[in-house]
A and B are shown apart, each in its own frame.
Chain A
Amino acid sequence: MDAKLDSRSLVLVVDDDARSASLVGRLLRADGYDTEVTTDGAAALARLTRGPVPHALVTDFHLRHADGLAVSRYARSRRAEMAVFMVTGHPHAVRAAVELPDEPIHVLTKPLDYPDLLRRLIAALGANVEV
């Protein structure tokens, strides 16, 4: 159990809707991930300056102070292979805005289909516990 705890992946969840953000965090924890939650772009960037560096980022696109794209770029600068999930109501606009990085960014359309997010996380990071 301890060994498993040590190996748990850390997911940073960023959404300016605090209830949605905390709910995603709760669901991910229930599915075996460590999570941290912030509700604006500046707070997310501040968190990323410190360790431990998350393994995955689930972020809204529209955020106060810094948008999801800025947060994603900074996150990738901290961990090049970071799995990034961008949740947005305007997937076409966001896809057009995202330059193709080495590691692709997952653009997910609102409303977020949680089982779909979980499948993609597992594919990117591996399952941390039995699901």
Chain B
Amino acid sequence: MQILREDAAPAPHTSMPTARETRFEELKRYVRFDDGDARALLALRPLAAPHFVRIAREFYERIREHEDAHSVFTGEEQIERLQRSMVRWMDRVLSGTYDEAYFEETRKIGRVHVRVGLAQRYMFTAMALIRVSLEDVAERELRADAPKARVALTRILDLELAIMMESYREDLAVQVRRRDVVEAQSLRTDLARALQLYEAAIDAAPNLIVGVDASGHIRLFNRAAQTITGYALEDVFGAPFVETMAPSEGRSKASALIDALLAGPPTQASEESFVRTRAGKIRDVRWYFTRIPSGGPDDIVLFANGADVTNARASARQLHQNEKLAAIGTLAAGLAHEIRNPLNGAHLHVAFLQRALAKSLAEPDVLEAANVVSEEIKRLARLVSEFLDFARPSLLSKKRVVVQTLVTRALELTAPDAAHSGIAVEADVPPQALVVHADGPKLQQVLLNIVQNAIEALAPSGTGHVVVRVRRQPRDVVVEVEDDGPGLPTPDAPVFDAFFSTKPTGTGLGLAITHRIVSDHGGAIDVHTRPGRTIFRFTIPIGDEGADSDGGEHE
């Protein structure tokens, strides 16, 4: 701003004529340049004029020997032009008239030197060259009057130098200021553009980026943060970071971390945490905090950069699960062959034995022994079949299925167990029937497994609450089974793995089969657990033929 103001002011070199004496008059007075000098110079003029062209040529020949001086010229044409103007200049110096117009002409020369970039040292040394040449002419042409002319030459040429130097310096200063203004303007433009760019980059980032000031309040909230949390910038600007973002149960831990970061020196920290969205949903977020040096009271001192890993974590789990199931499938196919073939031989031989014993009138207990072996073989065969049913992707028999019906049935089937254990089970379903295109009996098994699991988790405490919640989403129906039991031993417990069980009597196949069925439907299942709240949540795609029962959203 200061620069602009200076620039807007009248140029300082503009001479302000005073009533008493101009700058030029003052200088002339200083060197005692008087009318006698003027007359002496005028007298020299006709004698020196024939030498002007030679002197000018010599002058420029000398310049050619000096690289820095010569480098200001753009070509021979320009040198020719400058030689002619030098001749005019010498003529003017010896003109005998030294008024304000003369003064202004000389000032112009200094400005020309600035424009062409001639260094001042060459201005001075070149003047010595001209002085020597003109004095030489005076010596030869004027003889006795030469000393008077030499004094006049010295005075006028030094006046020339003084005026040129001053206008050179003033003009240079103006030019520098002008350049500064231009640079400052372009700097401001660059800065504004850079700021815009950084803001765009921050908004384009897929991560949540939140800036927090020294008192822990939100000062920056990028687009991803707005999208993921559902809060608009104006909802959270100036709001306390921890209270806004952290769900109540993780708040004290998050608060301690943020307080420590704000109090401490510039540093970095990372934290796996949760974010509570405006709608009350919980997202898994991996935070990286960067504490930067403090600025003003409202300045951002802490950047919180959060990656929403909710979906990535779920799909990693899903992928891992699918890989495991594929491996089990391969293993199972091998087992089928290795176990079923010997069983086949054994079973046929037992059938033969049973037949023979029946005909031979053997003791009844001998025949009974053969029957026991036969039954055991059948049991083993069933076990193999059931295991393979789990391990192999099974074909689904899809029909239109009303999800609420499945929920009602699951609650009916589990009611005796729930009542026996003192557990309340309730359904929270929308009034409008939700229809999916799915394998009904298999989905029933899924729901039953999960509800049964929740009841079994609560049973030891003899009390508890289970809620089966069904919600419609654009492409899926989401079913949640929530209990207020102790939760899984760890949040990462591999509950969907075959033969993983927390129950002493569990086969470890229930949730694995559940997972399989949901996967086969193209849905997803996951679990969020902590003491006091465990949610199994699965989705089933609505599919082409599924829809709300009134078919309103369908063709």
> Is B344 within 8 A of A111, CB to CB?
yes
Instruction: Give CA–CA (A19, B355) in the complex, Å.
Output: 17
Instruction: Report the minimum CB–CB distance from B352 to chain A (whole Å).
Output: 6
The CA-CA distance from A109 to B352 in the complex, in Å, is: 19
Of residues 114 to 128 in A, which have CB atoms within 8 Å of B's CB atoms?
114-115
Which residues of chain A come closer than 8 Å to B341, judged between CB atoms?
17, 89, 110
User: Which residues of B are found within 8 Å of A20, using beta-carbon distances?
Assistant: 344-345, 348
Whether, in the assembled complex, A129 has its beta carbon less than 8 Å from a beta carbon of chain B, the answer is no
Across the interface, which residues of B come within 8 angstroms of A111, CB to CB? 340, 343-348, 377-378, 381
Which of the segments A24-32, A39-47, A76-84 contacts the partner chain? A24-32
Is the Cβ of B344 less than 8 Å from the Cβ of A90? no
Using A92-B392, A109-B385 as known contacts, say yes or no to A19 and B351 having CB atoms under 8 A apart: no
Q: Which residue of A lies closest to B392 (CB)?
A: A92
B385 — nearest CB in chain A belongs to which residue? A109
CA of A81 to CA of B39 in the docked complex: distance in angstroms?
145
State the CA gap A92–B344 with chains docked (Å). Answer: 17
Whether A112 contacts B348 in the complex (CB less than 8 A), given A27-B355, A92-B392, comes out as yes
- Cβ of B503 within 8 Å of any chain A Cβ, yes or no, is no
Q: Is A56 an interface residue (CB 8 A)?
A: no
Cβ of A8 to closest chain B Cβ, rounded Å: 19
Interface size for A (C-beta < 8 A) is: 20
Which of A90, A111, A113 has the largest count of B CB atoms less than 10 A from its CB?
A111
Chain B 345-377 interface mask (CB, 8 Å, partner A; 1/0): 111110110010000000000000000000001
A87 within 8 A of B: yes
Distance of B327 from chain A, by nearest CB (Å): 18
Confirm or deny: B146 has a beta carbon within 8 angstroms of a beta carbon on chain A.
Answer: no
B352 touches A110 (CB 8 A): no
In the complex, the chain B residue whose C-beta lies closest to that of A26 is B352
Q: Is B333 an interface residue (CB 8 A)?
A: yes
Determine if B336 is an interface residue (Cβ-Cβ < 8 Å): yes
A23 within 8 A of B: yes
* B81 contacts the other chain (CB 8 A): no
Nearest B residue to A24 via CB reads B348
CA distance A23 to B378 in the complex (A): 18
Please give the distance in Å from A119's CB to the nearest CB on chain B. 13
For the complex, is B337 an interface residue (Cβ under 8 Å from A)?
yes
A10 to B548, CA, bound (A): 58
Check A23 against B336 for contact (C-beta < 8 Å).
no
Contact A30 B355 (CB under 8 A): yes
Point out the residues of chain A lying under 8 angstroms from B347, CB to CB: 111-114
Cβ contact within 8 Å between B340 and A110:
yes
Name the 9 nearest CB pairs between A and B, nearest first: A111-B347, A89-B340, A110-B340, A111-B343, A110-B344, A114-B351, A111-B344, A89-B336, A23-B348
Interface residues of B (CB under 8 A from A): 333, 336-337, 339-341, 343-349, 351-352, 355, 377-378, 381, 385, 388, 392, 394
25 sampled A-B residue pairs with Cβ under 8 A: A17-B344, A17-B345, A19-B345, A23-B348, A23-B352, A24-B348, A26-B352, A27-B355, A89-B336, A89-B337, A89-B339, A89-B340, A92-B388, A109-B381, A110-B344, A111-B340, A111-B344, A111-B346, A111-B347, A111-B377, A111-B378, A111-B381, A112-B347, A114-B348, A114-B351
